[in-house]
A and B are shown apart, each in its own frame.
Chain A
Amino acid sequence: MTNAIIIAILAAIKIGIVIGVLLLVIAYLIWVERKVMAHMQVRLGPMRVGWHGLLQPIADGLKLITKEDIIPANASKILFVLSPVIAMIPALLSIAVIPFGDTITIMGVSIDMVITDVNIGILFILAVSSVGVYGILLGGWSSNNKYSLLGGLRSSAQMISYELSMGLSLIGVIMMTESLSLVDTVNAQAGLWFVVLQPIAFVVYAISAIAETNRCPFDLPEAETELVSGFHTEYSSMKFALFFMAEYANIITVSAVGVTFFLGGWRGPFLPPVVWFLIKMALCIFFFVWLRSTFPRFRIDQLMQFAWKVLLPVAIVNVLITGLVMSIL
């Protein structure tokens, strides 16, 4: 009985820390993105609030909370309010199975640096993130606005198409580790990272991850030149902020999965595991920002053709090759 209580308390502490850190990181990711993009475009970015604009996220947050919350007259009220929540919850949930570090022992109690190690880890992430699309889809529909609806439809088409190649790109790694648990995946990379053994899968994963998070150059759902701002045109105040935070939480999730599956997870010399994990994730996130300030947006037909005619066949061939090589060796 006492054992169960200790496990419950530990889980609660871990969830508290992870969610707290995650929300803080999301707030500062927006600052990082603005700063990095500004410097890439020879600007300064936010400078006024705090040293080099470091307090900007807090100012932004206060502004968003105090804004007027508008619900359009002909909107479907329940779904309109529910959609930002549906977008946010899956984004936070999928962090639960990602291992941040090795097992450590404090006062005789060994603690795994993962909230919960379920034996279907990656399936859990894929399942939960596939539900996240409803936030965008229903948000776009319930606003009763044609721009929102178009944005919602575009994003659902995009996310369904790229989800397939994303799942297939991970199958190569799953075949090699023979486990769906993320802890096992990290342990299997003690010698060699899977990015070396599965380079094609890594490229396919990276491209589909960017498309899954609706980021530039795949940010068609909110293409401001065509759709005002897509599915969240009618959203204001904290509801808008929730959509915004969900996008960044998704970036963190796909980066974390990418690090775990291809870049050795928390493994690395000299520094503590958690630090290595954070460094690798920061590099992935920097890559996202870098892309946004470099590439122009795709057209919708190019996007769909690329998903079905290039990315999906490449991912399937990769699975076949992995199977062939594994059966020969």
Chain B
Amino acid sequence: MLESLLFIIMSLITIACAIGVVFQKNPIYSAVFLIQTMVSLAVLYVLLHAQFVAAVQVMVYAGAIMVIFVFVIMLLNLNKNDMEDGKTKMPMQKPAAIILGLVLVVMIGVVMTRTIYQGAQGEYTPEVMDQIGNTQLVGKMLFTKYVLPFEIASILLFAAIVGAIILAKKQIIKEEK
């Protein structure tokens, strides 16, 4: 009873904040709404008995990635003209965004109806998780069943970091010449 009430409140806040991210004109406000979206999602994870994922969600997304976002937006120091210019520069952006958004909604819809709404329960129910321990279970799965996707994802991130450093370095070397 209490849980479903909390779920409804938190999901409404999450959706409201997500809408705020899209419709805010000022990028800083968008970022603040995105932070709130991340934190509300963490609460939803707690309601789903995934405390470890919730803490990591706040720590990594709200605490680290979004700080960098806000940091970069502040350093760019956009004024009003810059933001309004952006609208005319990319005329294809809106239709492309609408089409891709629709594709995403359809994909999520298909996956949801095929899996979650079938009512089938996985082998790790809340009772099993409480017995083994949430963190222990996540660790075990990451290092046994999902070790390959996990490592591939980390190598992908690593490649992105190396790429970013090389791109940044090139400009510095050019400027020095």
Chain A positions near chain B (C-beta within 8 angstroms): 76, 79, 118-120, 123-124, 126-128, 130-131, 133-134, 137-138, 141, 149, 152-153, 156-157, 159-160, 163, 180
Given that A79-B32, A128-B58, A153-B74 are contacting pairs, would A123 and B52 also be in contact in the complex, using a CB cutoff of 8 Å? Answer: yes
Q: Is the CB of A119 within 8 A of B64?
A: no
Interface residues on B, range: 20 to 34
User: Assuming A120-B51, A160-B64, A163-B63, what are 18 further A-B pairs, CB within 8 angstroms?
Assistant: A79-B28, A79-B29, A119-B133, A119-B134, A123-B52, A123-B55, A123-B56, A126-B59, A127-B55, A127-B58, A130-B58, A131-B35, A131-B63, A133-B63, A133-B67, A137-B71, A153-B74, A163-B64
Q: Is the CB of B62 within 8 A of A130?
A: yes
Q: Is the CB of B71 within 8 A of A119?
A: no
State which residues 60-75 of B face A: CB under 8 Å.
62-64, 67-68, 70-71, 74-75
A157–B59 alpha-carbon span in the complex (Å): 16
For B39, what are the chain A residues with a Cβ–Cβ distance below 8 Å?
Answer: 131
B154 at the A interface (CB under 8 A):
no
Residue ID in chain B nearest A124 by CB atoms: B55
Residue ID in chain B nearest A140 by CB atoms: B74
B135 to chain A, nearest CB (A): 6
Residue ID in chain B nearest A78 by CB atoms: B29
Residue ID in chain A nearest B130 by CB atoms: A119
Task: Please classify the interface of chain A as helix (H, G, I), strand (E, B), loop, or mixed, using the class held by over half of its residues.
Answer: helix
Residue ID in chain B nearest A125 by CB atoms: B55
A118–B58 alpha-carbon span in the complex (Å): 16
A232–B115 alpha-carbon span in the complex (Å): 51
- How many Cβ-Cβ contacts under 8 Å join chain A to chain B? 72
For B62, what are the chain A residues with a Cβ–Cβ distance below 8 Å?
Answer: 127, 130-131
- Within 8 Å by CB of B63, from A76, A130, A141, A152, lies A130
Listed by A's residue number, 18 A-B pairs whose Cβ atoms lie within 8 Å are A119-B51, A120-B52, A120-B134, A123-B55, A124-B55, A126-B55, A127-B58, A127-B59, A130-B62, A130-B64, A131-B62, A133-B67, A141-B70, A141-B74, A156-B67, A156-B71, A160-B64, A163-B63
For A119, what are the chain B residues with a Cβ–Cβ distance below 8 Å?
Answer: 51, 133-135
Q: Is the CB of A137 within 8 A of B67?
A: yes
A127–B63 alpha-carbon span in the complex (Å): 7
For A149, what are the chain B residues with a Cβ–Cβ distance below 8 Å?
Answer: 74
For B59, what are the chain A residues with a Cβ–Cβ distance below 8 Å?
Answer: 123, 126-127, 130
Residue ID in chain A nearest B52 by CB atoms: A120
For B56, what are the chain A residues with a Cβ–Cβ distance below 8 Å?
Answer: 123, 127
A157–B70 alpha-carbon span in the complex (Å): 11
For A160, what are the chain B residues with a Cβ–Cβ distance below 8 Å?
Answer: 64, 67-68
A48 to chain B, nearest CB (A): 43
Q: Is the CB of A153 within 8 A of B63?
A: no
A168–B28 alpha-carbon span in the complex (Å): 31
For A76, what are the chain B residues with a Cβ–Cβ distance below 8 Å?
Answer: 28
For B52, what are the chain A residues with a Cβ–Cβ distance below 8 Å?
Answer: 120, 123
